[in-house]
Structure formats: C-alpha cells, structure tokens
Amino acid sequence: MIYENIIETIGGTPIVKLNSVASHIKATVAVKVEYFNPGHSIKDRIALQMIEDAERDGRIKPGGTIIESTSGNTGMGLALAAAVKGYRCIFTMADKQSQEKIDILRAVGAEVIVCPTNVEAEDPRSYYSIAGRLSKEIPNSIWMNQYDNPSNRAAHIATTGPEIWRQTEGKVTHFVAGMGTCGTITGISSYLKEQNPNIQTVGIDTYGSVFKKLKETGKVDTNEIYPYLTEGIGEDIVPENCDMSLIDEIIKVSDKDGALMARKLSKMEGLFVGWSCGSAVFGALEYAAKNLGRDDLMVIILPDHGSRYLGKVYNDQWMQTHDFLDEGTMMTAEEILKFKTDRRKVITLNTSQTLAEAIAVMREQDVSQIPVSDGVSIVGSVNETRVLNTILDDPSLKEGPVTQAMSDPFPFVLRSTRLDIISKLINKDNPAVLVQGDNGSLEIITKFDLIGVLAR
C-alpha cells in the first residue's frame, strides 16, 4: 500500500508486553508504544484532529498560520500536518524543554519562541500568553490551545481508545496515562468506560503539579505548585479537557524516578522512550504491585520517543548534575576491581582436566566458579553447583573431562564498562564477568564483588 501523504500513517500503534521491569507484577502489564506515529509521539493524533476540525468549521483557511503553546510533541504533529496542508507554524515553548525538541521543530519548518518556565500562566511572558497574543495579532491564524480544545479529547475517543479495546480483545482492566493537557487520559478513559464501566483509569502526575490534590480535594492548592523538570506531564493550571470523573486514582512520580525508569525501559525492554513514559511506567508498577491480580490486564500509554531527551535523561553528565544517578552505578569495571580485597591472578582450568581436578582446585583456591580454557582462549566455565549436580547424577563422571559440566564462558567486559551494564550481565545463569588487563592478564568480577561495592 502506498499512502498519499505522511499524515495517513498516524495511529494503529502496537501494544507490547513488559517483561523485565514488570517481572514482580502478578498481572499482565503492557504498553501502547506511541512513538510508532510518524512524528514519534501520541500528539500526532490530536494535531491532525485539531487542524481538520478547524478546517471544517472555518476557523482556519488556506495559507493560514497555526499557533500553539507546546512542550514539543504537539508542535511536531502540527508541523507535519501543516507541511502537508500548506500552513505556517509558530510555536511557543517553555525554556525547560530539551534543545532536541526545539531543534526538531525548527527542522520541520516551524518558528519557535522560547519563553520562561517559572512565571504564572497569566504572565504576558508565559508561553500560554504569548501564543494567545500572537493569534490576535496575526491575520488568518488560530491558536490550537490543546489544553482547552475539545478536539484533543475527541481524537482519543475516535482512535486510541478503540485501538486499545480491539487490541486487547476487550480484556483490558486498567488503563494508565500521564496527565498534562488531559486529552489523552480523558478521551481514552471515556471510550473504555463506555465499553466496560469497571475499567480503572490511573493518572500519573508529577510533584509540583496540581492534579493529584485537585482529585483528592476538588480544589487547586497553590502551595502544591512549584517548578519541576519532567516534560510532558503536570500542570500549574487546570485544562478544560480535565474531567476528574473519568479518573479513578492519581499517582505522583518524582523527576528522578521517571528519568531512571525511562532509562530502564530502554536498556531492559528495548523501548527507547521519553521522560514521561518512564514516569507513567514507574507509577503504574507501583499501583499494580498493590492492586492487581493475575487476571488483570493493564495498558500504559508511552507517549513519545527517547530521541527528544538525548541531552537530558540519556546524558550521564546531565543526570549526574541533577543527582539523578547514584555514584555507584557510574563506577567502571576498573574502579570496581580496586575495591576487591582479593585480586589474585584468575585461576583457569584446561578442557583436558577432570571434574575431580576441578573440585580440588575450587577447594584449594576457595572459589565457586572458574573459567575454562582450551589453551588458546576461554571457551567455557564451571561452577560448584553444576559440578556437584553432574557428579550426583553419575559418580563415574568424576574422572571424566571438565567439559561434561561446562557452562558458557563468562562474558568479557572492558575496563571502562559501567557497573549498571555489568550488573545486567551477571545473573543466576551467569555469576561473573572477566576483565582483561593491558598485559593480557585476567581479572574476575562476581556478584559478591558488586554487592560489596554497592553496600560500602
């Protein structure tokens, strides 16, 4: 099939089960991966709906100008649609947004005005106020105002909600999404609850935002409003798209927890996602651990792609500057080795040696695992559990070659490899990694070495 243009490819994004990060959850936890949209975010859906609704009722005419206050993703969706339809775009953004988002918007032809973050929404310098002013000054222009625009919510009632219902065959029991403009969570929740009123909707908020307190008390508490770093969720105003009757519970997630979970999703699930995606999954798993059973099916919206956050969440220096990375996780193999109390030369076995000899070496050297060499390179490994089980199964194998109880070789890592990567390589099936020195010598890092470093 050949599409007529890029906007025809919007929607139809996949739902993917979470495995590693949700291994402790009894229920099935899945994510709807919205970076499969052409603009790499869920906002492509509402961008197209807002433009086409404005065209239908005459609020914008050919050659007009689209104006929007955006954290970046809605702007991207609007810019793609505008490129196809021939509109000019002007976007206002808060200065806390990543430089990648600003650069991407300019790359697709938009004009971007960067505004201060820490001002009231009514302040003439805010990105809301500047967008509103420009829409009055520029002829044949429209401020899309996704916060109050009913097309935002309508897009998800028409597309995202039905997709989730169809893709889960109506088995979804819990739905989770971040709260910003609130169009995503209220639109999808509205559709899903029409199909099954028992479906629970969980909103994800950030510290410094209004939503959780508003849900619990019905009032906006100005003492709860303060600056935060997470992009894409949280507000200091209440958008008209916010309908608390469609949201059953709201969970706050810190900037740090959201950022670290985004990195985990990339490394452990292969999902290279944005900051608020990490927030959504962190809050969802916290809720699921307390409330979900084996028969439940939770679907979490992952709004955007990690490429928007290369200078922040996926930049180690930026993360360290904001104290988001624990010092221990940044240690390298070389630094870990310095903390080892026992840095004897690594003992190896030869493939020609027997299991009995392997046992003797383990006892003599007081080690539980040993690499195995063929005289040229490391070809495998043995550990005391595997050796013991082999001999218990057949005592006559004691005098046989060590290869009878051999496991895969321990992975080699560079001296510069970080602890967080090493910790992924060391697991119940692989108890150690090897590090090769400049002179060809071998050193070993075990799970107990990692525990010793992290516990110090």
Alpha-carbon distance 116 to 180, whole Å?
A: 18
Residue 92 DSSP symbol: E
Q: Which alpha helices (H) appear in 73-182, and where do they start and end?
A: 73-85, 99-107, 127-137, 150-155, 161-167
CA distance 382 to 402: 8
Q: DSSP code of 273?
A: B
The set of residues, in sequence order, having a beta carbon less than 8 Å from that of 61 and lying 6+ positions away, is 140
Which residue shows structure tokens 């919510």? 153
Q: Are 362 and 384 in contact (CB under 8 A)?
A: yes
Whole-angstrom distance, CA of residue 154 vs CA of residue 157:
5
Give 32's strand partners: 15, 301
Contact 433, 346 (CB under 8 A): no
Helix (H) or strand (E) holding 361: helix 355-365
Q: Is 43 annotated in the active site?
A: yes
N-term to C-term CA, the chain:
59
Q: State the catalytic residue, choosing from 32, 43, 85, 213.
A: 43
| Residues annotated as part of the active site | 43
